[in-house]
Structures are given as C-alpha cells and as structure tokens.
Chains A and B, each alone.
Chain A
Amino acid sequence: MLNMRLSMSAGLIAVMTVATTGGALAAPSCGASPVVLNSYFETGFPLPTELSKEFTKQFPNVTFNIKEDLFANLMENSPRVLSGDNPPDLIRLPSISDLVKDGLLKNLDSYATAFGWDKYPPAQLAQNRVADSGSPRGEGSLYAMGLNYSMTGIFYNKALAAKIGMTKAPETVAELEDLMAKAKAAGIVPIVEWNKPVVGLTFPLQNLMGSFGDPKAVNDWIFQQPKSTIDTPANLTAAQHLEQWVKAGYFQDDINSVDYATAMGRFIDGKGLFIFNGDWESGNLDKQMTGNVGFFVMPPATAGGKHAAMSAPLTYGIGANAKNADCAAFFLNWVATNPEARKIDVAVGGSNPGGPVDLPLPPVTPGSVTEQTLAAGTTIAKDNGAMDFIANATGAIYAEGWTPELQKMVGGRQDSAGMLKTVQDEYVKELSR
C-alpha cells in the first residue's frame, strides 16, 4: 500500500515536472506586465483577500480589484455579473450548474492538464465537475477549483463535556445520543444550532444520513443523477433520529428564531454542549474559546463503521469571457501548491488546503481545534465519506425545500416521512421547470 502510494507520488512529481516544463513553453501565467485581476469575493471571509495580498507580494505585477458581496447576494448576482461586460477573472461561486448551462464559466480542463490538477485525488475535484448541460454534477469538465476544502462535524465545549463525564468522542450515534440525554438531564442545552433565515438543522440531518446510509447515494441526489431520491429508508431513519432529538428538547426551544451569528455566539458563551458546524470556524473558535473547544466527526451507526461528513470546496471559478483567465488559473494553482499560500489557507481559512497529495499539511498549533478538524479530514478521506451539501442540490432546494420543512418539523407541523417526501417533490418540480 505504502509502496503504491510512493510510486503514485513519484508519478505525480514526474507529471508535475512535465507539466511545469511544458508550461514554460505555453505557460498559463501572469506574465511580467501589469495585470489587475478583477475579483468578486464573499463578504465575511478574509481568506481570499489574505491570499491575494501574499500573491501580490510574490508577483508584484499582479494586483487585485476586489468586490465583495454576501453569500446570498453572490448566489443571486453571479449570473448577471458573469454575463456583464466586464466578467470577473476570479469569482466565488455558490453553485455552478446553472452557470455552466448558460455558458458563463470557463472550462478549466486545459488548465487542469497544464498544471496537473487532473492528478489530484479525483474526489477533490468531483464537486466542481459538471456536464456541459449543467446536470448531472460530479462528472464532466472541470469548471471551478477549491481554495480549500472544508469539513463539517461536531464542535463541543470541553468544560461542559467534563461536567457530564464525556471523556472521549462518541464512537456510535447511540453514544452521541446518550451524551445528549446526559446533558439535558444536567440542565445543559445539548445542541445549539440556528434555523433562520435558512436552516442549520441540515447539518445534523445530513450527518445522520451519512451515519445510517451510503454517502454516495446522498451525493448522487445532490449531483442530480437521474432517478435519484432523498426519500430512502436510510434517510428516513436519519430524519427520525433528528425528529426524536427535537422532541426530546435537545435543541434550544427558540431555534426557529435563531440565526447563525446568534447560535455561534451562544456556543462561544458556553450556552450549549455541541454545535454541528464546519471547520471554517476552527480558527475563530481557537481564538475565542482557546483550549475549551474540541471537535469530532459524526460517529457511524455501529462501532467501527465508516465515517461520513459534508465536505465542500471553497469554490472559485473564472468567467467565460474573463480578460485575465490565464493569470486567474495561475493564481488558483499557486493557492494549492505554494507553501506560503497553503499556510495562509489553514491559518486563516481553517480548512484543508487540498492540492497534490505529496505536499505536506502546513503545521498548526498542537492541541488546537484546527489540528483536530484537519485530522478529521484525513479520517473522512480514508473512509471515502465526503458528501457535498444537501442544500446545494438545486438552486432553490435550500430556501424552498429544507428550510420550510425543517422549520415545520421543529414547530411540530411536519414529521420525518412528510419532510423527505415534500423535499423530494420540490426537487423533482425544480428539475422539471
């Protein structure tokens, strides 16, 4: 096994050398004359801006003209921005299917060959591959790259965990539920989560789906593979567990009126034992709850089973008619391979920088939660348990499917079976329109 990996690495280096040498002839690069990369980033996430500063330091001829927008606005504006007169060279992309269908994104296949991205672990790029018709996703040409690859799981408050006698991460769903029951009995809110204006209960729900079913089936649904459905017996079991958690009072009772920032604030203030969230918060939590926060991946249903988690690239693409596409692609390659960029990626972004398998992970503070989330990434990779996010299946499934239905479940107006059926109906309806 080890030999195989080594020979693969050697092959990779060889390929990369060829790519680099080949690149010297017709190198996609930023050249030597001044370039201004027209960039459209996401507000509230400093990572791309920090990376751009370092890039300018290393390549002084390249500067960035950065515009920022909130995620929701990006979601709504990206088609218009990309179809405008001056499409961005670099753009944060919430979803890519519709954009590919409308021919607004640059096909990155030639860059993948030139830079050797096609030699990265296939799972790393799968979520950014789309058929030219926009569906299914997960296969076809490459249309975007991840700046890093985030992971979701469960953060816990160490002081509260000690109070209920939690000494190690739970190894099964039953053990996790046992901890929740203990917390509830001790007067501690077991889980703080948000459920407004879009729901956060999709995090525990999808984690449960990964514990009770095959993550590939969930991915097929997200990638719009023909005939896939979310309304399966395994997912029903998962949803029933979540419903039971709601009924047992494991979430704060005002969860439907709590937004993301409030939920994070409550967790940081020690108002709850667990929060289902992603490693983009690792750096923040290390700073705000230094030493008092831990992380574990969602445990499997049975001891020794495989782990699964939502894991998604921080997706960036290049406009189909972007003026500096080569330089933008060079930047994306630099982010994945440059040691300094990878260091920033982990320190600021908190997530795995991805890139070639033979590159080492940048060092992190021992004992930090960032160290734990990065390690969890390895567990998920080993178990091949990475899932895209169920909210990304279609452009509106989050707002029109998961959000109202999970809010109704909290309000006691919808049960597990009804929720899955309604979301599946909405999915079919959206794909048919």
Chain B
Amino acid sequence: MTNERQQSRRRSVRSPSIKGGRGLLMAWVFIVPALAFYAAFVLVPIVMSIYYSLLRWDGIGKSQFYGLRNYVTVLSESDFLQILANAFQLVVYFTVIPVAIGLGVASVIREQLSGRFGTVARTVLFIPQVIPLVAAGIAWTWMLASNGVVNQALQLIGLGAVTRGWLGDFDFALPAVGMIGAWVLLGLCTMLLVTGIARIDASLYEAAKLDGASPWHEFRWITLPSLRQEIGVCVTVTVIAALASFDIVYIATGGGPGIQTTVPGLEIYRLAFAHRQVGLASALAVVLMVLVIVVVLPIQWLTRPPK
C-alpha cells in the first residue's frame, strides 16, 4: 500500500516534469519561427543601426569609425532640432484631435450602437483607415491645392480672402499635414473607442441616471475611466504615427516649404539615400527610436489597468 502510494506519488511528481519538458520543447517549437523572424527583421536591424550610427559610411564604399560625432550633429544642428520639433507638433494633430473626436463620437453613438445609425457612423468613420496613406496623401494634396475643394468651399461661404495653397504656406503647411493625419487616424481611434464603450456595463449608466448624473458626469466618471486602456492604445499608436510619420509628409509636401514639414522619418530616408550618409541617418533613427520609447513608456504606465 505504502509502496503503491509512493509509486503513485513518484508518478504524479514525475509526470508533470515530463509534461513540463515536453511542454517546454513544444513552446520552443512554436516560438522559434516567430523569434527567428523577429530577430532577423527587428533585433538585428536595430543592432546594425546602432553600429552604423557610429560610422561615416556612404552605404557602399569603405566605412570609417566616427565615434559619437553623428549623434553630436543630430543633437546640435538647428535644422535637426527643428525637424524633431516638427514631429512633436504633429502629435497634437495625430493624437489629440482623433482621440478627442473619437471619444465624442463614441459617447454620442453609444446608445445607437446596434442600430443602423451606429453601423453607418462606424463604417464612415473607419473608411480613412482602410485607404492607403499614399492615396490619402495624394487626394488631400489635390483637395488642399489652391484650386482644390477646400478653397472652393471657403470661397462658397465668403472666405475667399483666406484661400491659399495650404501645403505650400509657411504658416499652414504643418497644420495642413497634421489634419491629413488626423483624418486618417480618426477612424482607428473611433473604432477602438466604440468597441470599448460597448463593453461598459449599461447598468452603470442606468444607476448614474437614477442618481441624477448629467451626460457630462456620465462621460467623466463612467466612460472615461472605463476606456482607460483603449485610450492608452489610441494614444500610443497615434503618437508613434506622428513621431515616425513619413508617407503623408513625403507625398503632400516633400518636407517643404523650407523645412517646415520635414519630419525625422523623411530626413532619415533622405540622409541615407540622397546624401548617402548612412551613419548620420542611423544616428537620427536611433535618436528617434529612443524618443518614441521615452514618450510611449509613460503613456503605457499611465493608462495601464488599475490593480
């Protein structure tokens, strides 16, 4: 009896360990392909970029070790600083506007989510998200041209005096590019926030109503806290889209006029392929990566679910 018990205990002790070993092996079998891809296309390029950033190299010929001089250039030349500042200015348009409007729309259509209005509203707002950025950039370039639909509309309502080639204007080019980004990202934010709002227990709103809460109170004390995580995702994705923007700017303005709309992504591309200064381009890329992490980490921390 004792023997049997001991044996069975041994068995029961051993079997999980066998299971664990097999499990571990299986885990690795499943992880390795993805890990290999991740390493080949993310980790290795990051390490290579850091290495390149220490070189003076045209991408083809002989390279020369250059120390941290590329970083000094990136962090001290006024043009590079303006380019980094442009990216942060875009955050206002790419993040604040879509998240704010997305929250507004989600709150308004909360009660009609399953109705026809809700479906149509969601579809319409999500459309920009499925249009390729390059196509959106081209379409908006036409609309913002001096004879484009934006100026035609302004003329129609008697604002002919303010019409201009928006994307070529020193004061308005960056906001105009920002609005294109806001338009594209609005769909994503609305979709995420509407999905999030659908998950909130309707009884919370009912209880609040019974307690005499105004719509603003409902929004402030129920909707906003419940959407914390979704807002976190929206802000993270849009901030990265702003800081690492490229396509819209490349298509709409090419970084001009002057360097008014030049963003780090565009400059990295130019430095690497037009200037053929792979070292300097990599240094700017590393600086951009660090900036993105520095900005995104606190957002993650602030919007994580309460324990």
Residues of A within 8 A of B (CB): 75-76, 79-80, 83, 98, 101-104, 195-198, 252-258, 262, 395-396, 399-400, 403-405, 407-408, 410-411, 413-414, 430, 433
Contacts and interface: CB of A to CB of B under 8 A. Distances in A.
A83 B60 contact: yes
B61 interface: yes
Contact of A258 (B168, B253, B276): B168
Interface in B164-190: 164-170
A253 B168 CA distance: 10
Given A410-B257, A411-B169, 10 more contacts: A80-B60, A101-B58, A102-B60, A197-B253, A197-B254, A255-B168, A400-B274, A404-B259, A411-B258, A433-B280
B170 A257 contact: no
Nearest to A99: B60
Nearest to A101: B61
Given A256-B165, A395-B276, A408 B257 contact: yes
B220 interface: no
B60 A79 contact: yes
Nearest to B257: A407
B258 A196 contact: no
Contact of A407 (B256, B274, B277): B256
Contacts of B258: 404-405, 407-408, 411, 413-414
A197 B273 CA distance: 16
B256 A197 contact: yes
A76 B165 contact: no
Contacts of B280: 433
Contacts of B145: 254, 257, 262
B146 interface: yes
B155 to A, nearest CB: 14
A236 B132 CA distance: 45
Contacts of B22: none
A279 to B, nearest CB: 26
A396 B270 contact: yes
A76 B274 contact: yes
Given A102-B58, A197-B253, A256 B274 contact: no
B64 to A, nearest CB: 11
Interface of B: 56, 58-61, 144-146, 164-170, 253-259, 270, 273-277, 280
B58 A98 contact: yes
B208 to A, nearest CB: 50
Given A257-B145, A257-B146, A410-B257, A400 B165 contact: no
Contacts of B169: 256-257, 411
Nearest to B66: A433
A80 B273 CA distance: 10
A133 to B, nearest CB: 11
Contacts of A262: 145
A197 B266 CA distance: 13
A208 to B, nearest CB: 21
Given A101-B61, A256-B169, A257-B169, A433 B277 contact: yes
B282 to A, nearest CB: 14
Nearest to A404: B258
A79 B56 CA distance: 17
Contacts of B167: 196, 257
A403 B126 CA distance: 37
Given A257-B165, A399-B270, A198 B254 contact: yes
Contact of B274 (A395, A405, A408, A410): A395
A413 B170 CA distance: 9
A201 to B, nearest CB: 12
A196 B254 contact: yes
A433 B57 CA distance: 9
A196 B60 contact: no
Contacts of B164: 253-254
Contact of B170 (A195, A258, A411): A411
Contacts of B253: 196-197
6 contacts: A101-B61, A102-B60, A197-B256, A254-B168, A258-B165, A258-B168
Nearest to A256: B168
A256 B256 contact: yes
A256 B260 CA distance: 12
A407 B168 CA distance: 8
B274 A399 contact: yes
A404 B58 contact: no
A71 B21 CA distance: 58
B273 A76 contact: yes
A430 B170 CA distance: 26
A196 B58 contact: no
B237 to A, nearest CB: 27
Contact of A256 (B257, B259, B273, B275): B257
